[in-house]
């Protein structure tokens, strides 16, 4: 039987499994707060280092930190798609589609409702057991 408990490392860095709405919100808000704090810190340090110049050390550090933060965003988002019974490719589509002029707002709104407000599938699905522990009898049927 698969283990339902997932560590924070798995939640942030693995693309396997499922997460609840609560975890989705907590991890995304935590990552956003971390990026804001990092940006403020880099902004304060970069005032004397030419932080607006794309070749400055502060700008490079900020860009690298932002790229590193994308991985956990995507990992948690993909697992939330899995909880909804959807492929993780939906998250990539929503991420790219949200940047499309005019319709991007509607695509982002759809993703917000789908991932942030709708409940996950009950019981096990093709991506793993329910992170809430609902439908444990189905786990044996699907993963045996």
- pTM recorded for the entire structure: 0.79
Q: How confident is the model at residue 48 (pLDDT cuts 50, 70, 90)?
A: low
In a domain, 9, yes or no: no
In a domain, 3, yes or no: no
* Residue 136 host element (H or E): helix 136-143
For 14-103, where are the alpha helices, taking DSSP H only?
Answer: 21-46, 57-83, 89-97
Task: Judge whether 130 and 123 are in contact, CB under 8 Å.
Answer: yes
* Residue 8 host element (H or E): helix 8-13
In a domain, 8, yes or no: no
What pLDDT is attached to residue 41? Answer: 78
In a domain, 1, yes or no: no
Q: How confident is the model at residue 111 (pLDDT cuts 50, 70, 90)?
A: very high
Listed ranges 5-19, 47-61, 83-97; the one with the highest mean pLDDT: 83-97
In a domain, 84, yes or no: yes
- The residue range of the domain holding 84 is 18-143
In a domain, 95, yes or no: yes
Total domain count, the chain:
1
pLDDT in tens, 56-98: 777 777 778 788 888 999 999 999 999 999 999 999 999 999 9
What pLDDT is attached to residue 65? Answer: 79
In a domain, 129, yes or no: yes
In a domain, 6, yes or no: no
């Amino acid at each position: 039987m698969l283990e339902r408990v997932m560590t924070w490392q798995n939640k942030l860095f693995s693309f396997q499994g499922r997460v609840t709405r609560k975890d989705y919100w907590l991890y995304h808000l935590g990552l956003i707060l971390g990026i804001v704090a990092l940006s403020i810190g880099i902004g304060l340090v970069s005032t004397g280092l030419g932080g607006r110049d794309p070749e400055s050390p502060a700008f490079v550090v900020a860009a690298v930190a932002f790229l590193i933060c994308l991985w956990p965003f995507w990992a948690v988002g993909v697992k939330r798609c899995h909880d909804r019974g959807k492929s993780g490719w939906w998250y990539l589509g929503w991420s790219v589609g949200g940047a499309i002029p005019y319709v991007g707002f509607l695509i982002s709104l759809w993703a917000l409702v789908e991932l942030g407000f709708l409940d996950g599938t009950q019981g096990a699905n093709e991506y793993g057991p329910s992170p809430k522990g609902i439908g444990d009898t189905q786990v044996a049927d699907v993963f045996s």
